[in-house]
Amino acid sequence: MREYWKSDYSWDLQQAKLNKDLYSTTVDGLRIVFKHLKPPSAGRGPLTDAKRQPVLLLHGWPGSIVEFNVFSELLLNDGHEVVVPCLPGYGWSEAPEHSGFGIQEAAISFLKLMRALGYSNGYIVQGGDWGAMIAEHMAKIAPKEAAAIHLNFAVVAFPDTLGTLAKVLLFGTAEDKKRLADTLDFAAVWDVTGYLHEQATRPHTLGATINTTPQGMLIWIAEKFQGWSDPNTELKAKFSMDDLITNVMVYWWSNSFTTAVRLYKESLTESKDAVNVVLSSVAVPAGVAIFPFELFPPPAAYVEDKFKHLIHFSKEVKGGHFAALEQPKALYTSFAAFREKLNAACASNDCDACCIDQHA
């Protein structure tokens, strides 16, 4: 990968791709940089007659807007308008200069961004990692705006109720029982969360070290892409080298590694934002896609217990934590199935939210 970066990688070419449809605005004093993508006209692409719901795509760490290159194209070709922002403190979105800005504050920023873009009548939020947790906050704060969510990262309490635990132990599949056991295994949790402890407690110390060399940053980030995806496949077979390197370049050239990992401290140490997401239920219509090599994919019973209006749940056969980049077509298939079930529920009045297709 390092040799490809030296000899074959073109930053000029990738920079042009990043800059296409890239905009910025100010939300509560912070500059937010985002892609605003609109589908081709009816004569140029495979659009349906009805306009689709707007979609907000939210990345996490150590990802970026690069993760959604293919996935956003699939959404565009099916008629969705798409907004893909850099999280505050990530990429070229400005970092807050004060403490107290965690994922709840990020959720408020994105609600205001979508309002500024004219999407206040209802849209779908899709995300993984921090993006999934921000999506849950948005739906909780403004359920008529973030009217539906589709996630490929579902964080739940283990175990939260004896009833749910009993469902898994008595009626769960062998796969679900293994997922529960893996999540409760202290050694397994410790093995894959060392980075989290460092970033949640000493983000500035880590950042000062990682920022000294692009190769060091590449190693720290690429190790996560290898470890949190299909372990049976080589890195270069799972991901485009251009995408992986460009993702690192976003952090390097924007000097945002430290401000990005500070989100861990703000959301896990300084506040209980992340804990609140884990413990809270979700009321808006939801779709969840669980990929087999996710860090801790939850048993089905826990997903069903947390998401009170779960209208689509898919167990995927390939891929891991970075689904939009590793398995974009599978993620889109799950998303499209969720969208159609959402529209059907709205059409039959079996939906707590408004039929957001009508407002697209």
**Tokens 């500024």, residue?**
116
pLDDT-based confidence at residue 40 (cuts at 50, 70, 90): confident
Q: Which of 338, 302, 328, 320 is nearest to 149 (CA)?
A: 338
**Tokens 């889109």, residue?**
332
Residues 295, 323: Cα–Cα separation, whole Å: 12
pLDDT tens track for 259-279? 999 999 999 888 877 878 877
Share of the chain above pLDDT 90, in %: 68
Q: How many residues does the chain have?
A: 360
Yes or no: say if 108 and 141 are a contact pair by the CB < 8 Å rule. yes
pLDDT tens track for 52-97? 899 999 999 999 999 999 999 999 999 999 999 999 999 999 999 9
Average pLDDT on 27-37 reads: 97
Average pLDDT on 231-253 reads: 95
pLDDT-based confidence at residue 289 (cuts at 50, 70, 90): very high
Residues 312, 340: Cα–Cα separation, whole Å: 10
C-alpha angle with apex 22: 109 to 218, nearest 5 degrees?
Answer: 85
Yes or no: say if 156 and 305 are a contact pair by the CB < 8 Å rule. yes
Q: Does residue 330 register a pLDDT over 50?
A: yes
Residues 151, 197: Cα–Cα separation, whole Å: 24
pLDDT-based confidence at residue 346 (cuts at 50, 70, 90): confident
Average pLDDT on 316-344 reads: 96
If you ran DSSP here, which 8-state letter would residue 168 be given?
A: I
Query: Residue 279 — φ and ψ, nearest 5°?
Result: -85, -15
- Residue of higher predicted confidence among 183 and 47: 183
Strand order of the β-sheet with 30-37 is: 22-27, 30-37, 82-85, 55-58, 123-127, 146-151, 286-290, 310-315
Res 286: pLDDT: 98
Yes or no: say if 158 and 179 are a contact pair by the CB < 8 Å rule. no
Domains of the chain and any CATH numbers: 2-359 (3.40.50.1820)
Query: How much helix, strand and coil, in percent to the nearest 5, is found in the chain?
Result: 50, 15, 35
Q: Which of 118, 48, 110 is nearest to 76 (CA)?
A: 48
Is 321 considered catalytic here? yes
- The one-letter amino acid code at 273 reads D
pLDDT tens track for 147-156? 999 999 998 7
| Lookup: tokens for 8 | 């074959």
Res 60: pLDDT: 97
| Lookup: tokens for 196 | 């989290």
Q: Are strands 55-58 and 22-27 parallel, antiparallel or unpaired?
A: unpaired
Q: Are strands 82-85 and 30-37 parallel, antiparallel or unpaired?
A: antiparallel
pLDDT-based confidence at residue 51 (cuts at 50, 70, 90): low
Is 23 considered catalytic here? no
Res 41: pLDDT: 64
Residue of 90, 119, 123, 264 marked active site? 264
Mean of the per-residue pLDDT values of the chain: 87
Res 44: pLDDT: 40
Q: Which of 240, 276, 356 is nearest to 102 (CA)?
A: 276
Average pLDDT on 235-244 reads: 95
Q: Does residue 358 register a pLDDT over 50?
A: no
pLDDT tens track for 187-230? 466 677 889 889 999 999 999 999 899 999 999 999 999 999 99
Residue of 78, 129, 242, 243 marked active site? 129
Res 169: pLDDT: 56
Yes or no: say if 132 and 307 are a contact pair by the CB < 8 Å rule. no
Average pLDDT on 313-338 reads: 97
Is 150 considered catalytic here? no
Res 163: pLDDT: 57
